[in-house]
Structure 1
Amino acid sequence: MAFEGKILPIVIHGDPVLHKRAAEVEEINDEVRQLVADMHVTQEAARGVGLAAPQVGVGLRIFTWEFEHTGDAPRKGEVLNPVLTLLGKVSQEDPDPETETEGCLSVPGLGYPLKRADHVRLQGFDIDNNPIDFEAHDWFARILQHEYDHLNATLYVNRLNPRWGKRWKKELRKQGWTTAGNTWMPGDDNDPFGHDEEESETADR
């Protein structure tokens, strides 16, 4: 039975669900199947490359992804109860703002440079309880680390070095993202990362 997904609001930094370790999926039931379908639709509407269940307000260990350059791994998928192993080292050098800037749907409209491992292994299960086990490199490895962090109550802004962390904390005070209840709705609200403007500029040419 296929579940038709619907767009869910995305929770913004400050909500407790983002700052508490997500719980294991105990059973793959219709509620979980519906959640995964909703997550895929929400991620697509938000033009994201990954989405974790806590980002739609559900504290379960699930994330989805869709990315073109995945090597031998699926370009689109989901993982339940993942285990992520770093196979590459994280450099202690300063991150490159041109090539290593991350964004997050739960920190809308912002981006900061961050060093990540360039090689990881992902294990877990898909929505049909089939085992997942593959390695990822480069930007795909970054995506998987980013989403896995969400399940452990870590946002990428929590990992910034002192220079970029200072800028983030200043922006956090400005935005007031310190309490529960802040969300944005893909498809209804303006895209915080400017994709709507990019499409408009393309259409005008």
Structure 2
Amino acid sequence: MSVRHERSRPADRRVRVQGRPVDTYPALSPEVTRGSVRRVTVVGEEILSRPCQEVTEFSSPELSCLIDDMFLTMYVADGAGLAANQVDVDLRLFVYDCPDDYGIRHVGHIINPVLEVPDPGSRRLIDDFEGCLSVPGAGLAVPRTDRAVAHGFDKDGNPLLIEGTGYFARCLQHETDHLLGHTYLDRLSKRDRKDALRQMAEHREDVFAQRAIKAASLGQ
């Protein structure tokens, strides 16, 4: 998921890493210094349209490397979240660095997530801007619930429970959709989907150029 300009990572020091509050945290997560930039897949590629495979091996160097690469790739693409199939890896995993509507920054990764949203009788749907790193240069309003909880595991197999409200709840839903083989385009009307694809056609080359510039600035 892409970061909306006015919702860029908050300057405020309230940060939750892997669901837990921390006293201080750098502007760029430590994974970035270890990662390499990977190509971001684009809507229309087959890997984005099928459910991802469960992660079955934890605590491996390959899994840690993938997470590091995903964090750096997310930052270079100016994202708030990134799923593994967006870097052409067929695994149920996403990373995130996303603010909520209270100015709290949420940073982490989650593996094999299972999402819970409020029951239909108690949920509140919010129409808000949503973009996607795999739909470069496009963004439209998408209805999402204002609360979500993700259950899953960290890279060492420890259980995680991540709670989100507002924009971070949107991020959790957006990235979990990716792992099920869906993009936000699947939640749009035919007319809005056509509009999003038109936006992408008009702006994707500019987006790719900006990513290349940012990668170069980070020595990639």
Aligned pair 1:41/2:72, yes or no?
yes
Aligned pair 1:62/2:90, yes or no?
no
Aligned pair 1:53/2:87, yes or no?
no
Kept after mapping to 1: 8 A contact 2:100/2:166: no
Partners of 2:148 and 2:89 in 1: how far apart?
25
Instruction: List runs of 5+ in structure 1 lacking aligned partners.
Output: 176-182, 197-205
Please give the per-residue CA displacement for 1:24-51, whole angstroms capped at 9, x wherever unaligned. 0010222111111110111111110000
Say if 1:20 and 1:163 are closer, same or farther in 2 by CA, change over 3 A: same
Partners of 2:100 and 2:74 in 1: how far apart?
17
Residue 72 of structure 2 aligns to a residue whose secondary structure is helix
Tell me which residue corresponds to 1:142: 170
Kept after mapping to 1: 8 A contact 2:48/2:181: yes
Equivalences, count? 175
Partners of 2:73 and 2:193 in 1: how far apart?
28
Aligned pair 1:131/2:159, yes or no?
yes
Say if 1:127 and 1:190 are closer, same or farther in 2 by CA, change over 3 A: same
Partners of 1:142 and 1:83 in 2: how far apart?
15
- Deviates most, 25-34 or 160-169: 160-169
Residue 83 of structure 1 aligns to a residue whose secondary structure is strand
Output the amino acid matched with 2:123.
Answer: K
Please give the per-residue CA displacement for 1:161-201, whole angstroms capped at 9, x wherever unaligned. 344234235x28x84xxxxxxx98x9xx4237xx98xxxxx
User: Matches of residues 87-126 of structure 1 in structure 2 within 5 Å?
Assistant: 87=118, 89=123, 91=125, 95=127, 100-126=128-154
With structure 2 as the length reference, what TM-score do the two structures score?
0.70
Instruction: List runs of 5+ in structure 2 lacking aligned partners.
Output: 1-30, 215-220
Please give the per-residue CA displacement for 1:34-75, whole angstroms capped at 9, x wherever unaligned. 11111011111111000000000001000000023387x872
- Deviates most, 158-167 or 61-70: 158-167
1:77 maps to which of 76, 100, 108: 108
Cα deviation for residue 134 of structure 1 reads 3.0
2:44 maps to which of 10, 14, 24: 14
With structure 1 as the length reference, what TM-score do the two structures score?
0.75
Kept after mapping to 2: 8 A contact 1:90/1:115: no
Partners of 1:64 and 1:110 in 2: how far apart?
21
Residue 24 of structure 1 aligns to a residue whose secondary structure is coil
Partners of 1:39 and 1:151 in 2: how far apart?
14
Partners of 2:114 and 2:101 in 1: how far apart?
18
Residue 22 of structure 1 aligns to a residue whose secondary structure is coil
Output the amino acid matched with 2:160.
Answer: I
Cα deviation for residue 130 of structure 1 reads 2.0
Partners of 1:162 and 1:11 in 2: how far apart?
22
Say if 1:55 and 1:190 are closer, same or farther in 2 by CA, change over 3 A: same
- Write out the 4+ residue segments of structure 1 that deviate beyond 6 Å after TM superposition: none
Residue 51 of structure 1 aligns to a residue whose secondary structure is strand
